[in-house]
Structure 1
Amino acid sequence: MIPSPYDVVVLVKNMPDKGLTKGMIGTVVDVYSTPSLAYEVEFCDQQGRTIFSLALAPERLQYKP
């Protein structure tokens, strides 16, 4: 299944330069189709503050139904 805006996804690889670790849960906020498929994902802390928001390729994410 392809994630849509507001779907929950899981990061599948560490991104230490962004402060993100494998297994972090994020929310899809937008879907881009050009120049290639990518998802704008927002990762938040326990208080709901944004840690990082960035566009990620589908292979960096796992859909969490």
Structure 2
Amino acid sequence: MTPSTPAFRELDSVVLRRDLPDAGLRAGDVGTVVLVYGVDAVEVEFVTHAGRTQALRTLAVSEVRPLADDDLPAVRPVRSVSDAA
């Protein structure tokens, strides 16, 4: 991959590297890249298992990593953004 090649493609699964409490997200949550903004940023959608969008965020590529073959999925209840306030 050259420096001008985006690290991610649309529909890639990614893992959040840090908590985003305002969105009800924690490091380790899995999302899907829905748009790539060059080499620097991606738009990522995080959804519940029922298919409800929890958050749609533009993130720096350093804030996410690819989903790895040895990642173990986990389930936790999510607090809505209004619950967090």
Aligned counterparts of 2:23 and 2:54: Cα–Cα separation in 1: 9
Report the identity percentage.
41
Q: Which has the higher contact order (CA 8 A, sep 6+)?
A: 1
In the other structure, the counterpart of 1:56 is 59
- SS of the residue aligned with 1:47? coil
Q: Any residues of structure 2 matched to 1:1-65 within 5 Å, and which?
A: 2-33=7-38, 37-65=40-68
Q: CA deviation at 1:27?
A: 0.2
Aligned counterparts of 1:3 and 1:30: Cα–Cα separation in 2: 9
Q: Return 5+ residue gaps in structure 2 as ranges.
A: 2-6, 69-85
Provide the TM-score with structure 2 as the length reference: 0.68
1:15-62: CA deviations, max 9, x gaps?
1111111100000000012xx710000000010110000100011101
Q: Return 5+ residue gaps in structure 1 as ranges.
A: none
- Superposed CA RMSD in Å reads 1.5
Provide the TM-score with structure 1 as the length reference: 0.88
Q: 4+ residue runs of structure 1 moved beyond 6 angstroms?
A: none
Alignment length (residue pairs): 63
